[in-house]
Structure 1
Amino acid sequence: MKETIMNQEKLAKLQAQVRIAGKGTAHRKKKVVHRTATADDKKLQFSLKKLGVNNISGIEEVNMFTNQGTVIHFNNPKVQASLAANTFTITGHAETKQLTEMLRPQKHR
């Protein structure tokens, strides 16, 4: 029984430290603001525009090989590059595949 009273007192002290407004309010010291993905995309596009990236057309697929033996595969990606800034961007739908799956001969290629 004594432990629960002690825990109640500790809890009351912690709650009092967090409160910034008057008694009976639920205000907190820090408000966490969650960013949306679109806001991050806009910032990224703005930064790329400052670097002076240009669209590169005619690229049908991109394969990125990882050390774990997987391949990140993009079909019909949007590729942008800025040679002066040594920056390349690849956007689009990505699929992660095994290396053996990508090296298998396919009939439709």
Structure 2
Amino acid sequence: MKMASAVRTGGKGSVRRKKKAVHKTTTTDDKRLQNTLKRLGVNTIPGIEEVNIFKDETVIHFVNPKVQASIAANTWVVSGPSQSKRPDNLPNLKKIAQQYQRQEPAGAEDEDDEDVPDLVDGETFEEAAKQESS
């Protein structure tokens, strides 16, 4: 008698079910999303260590995310574990961003030194090589 109540879908007097209904897992949503992204032609972008998304005065921070993009479809996908940061951390993040921007131009100047120098008008590579060897 007790088993009958375990397999009944409704109340007393309803029909017993013949087999247990199997519920689909949530991976179907993930598979659908991956199929849609594949149709859009997204490619994985390697080498991104962190992503900050600013939304409604909160910051969604991803560490080592999986970033996929389709520039033709104007679509960017950022997936992975995330943390929501409060506005009280926002001034600290702005200071860090400004420090990175200050450091970047200094690194850009060093790269110019490694480039091949421009030739003076009227000279050829052969003439410049002869002058350096003398």
TM-score interval, normalised by the smaller of the two chains: 0.5 to 0.7
Say yes or no: does 1:63 pair with 2:88. no
SS at 1:95's partner residue? strand
Larger radius of gyration: 2
The one-letter code of the counterpart of 2:36 is S
1:56-104, CA deviations, whole angstroms, 9 ceiling, x for partnerless residues? 111111111112x211110010000001111110000010111321432
1:11-62, CA deviations, whole angstroms, 9 ceiling, x for partnerless residues? xxxxxxxx8xxx64167xxxx9854221110110011011110011111111
- Which structure's relative contact order is higher, taking Cα pairs within 8 Å and 6+ residues apart? 1
Say yes or no: does 1:52 pair with 2:41. yes
Task: Give the paired residue count.
Answer: 82
Q: Which residue of 1 aligns with 2:26?
A: 37
Q: Which residue of 2 aligns with 1:86?
A: 74
Q: CA separation of 1:101/1:34 partners in 2, compared to 1, >3 Å: closer, same or farther?
A: farther
TM value normalised by structure 1: 0.62
Q: CA separation of 1:24/1:60 partners in 2, compared to 1, >3 Å: closer, same or farther?
A: closer
Higher fraction of helix: 2
- Identity rate, percent: 51
Say yes or no: does 1:25 pair with 2:15. yes
Moved over 3 A (4+): 32-35
CA RMSD of aligned residues (A): 2.7
Q: Which residue of 2 aligns with 1:72?
A: 60
Whole-Å separation in 1 of the counterparts to 2:91 and 2:23: 42
SS at 1:88's partner residue? strand
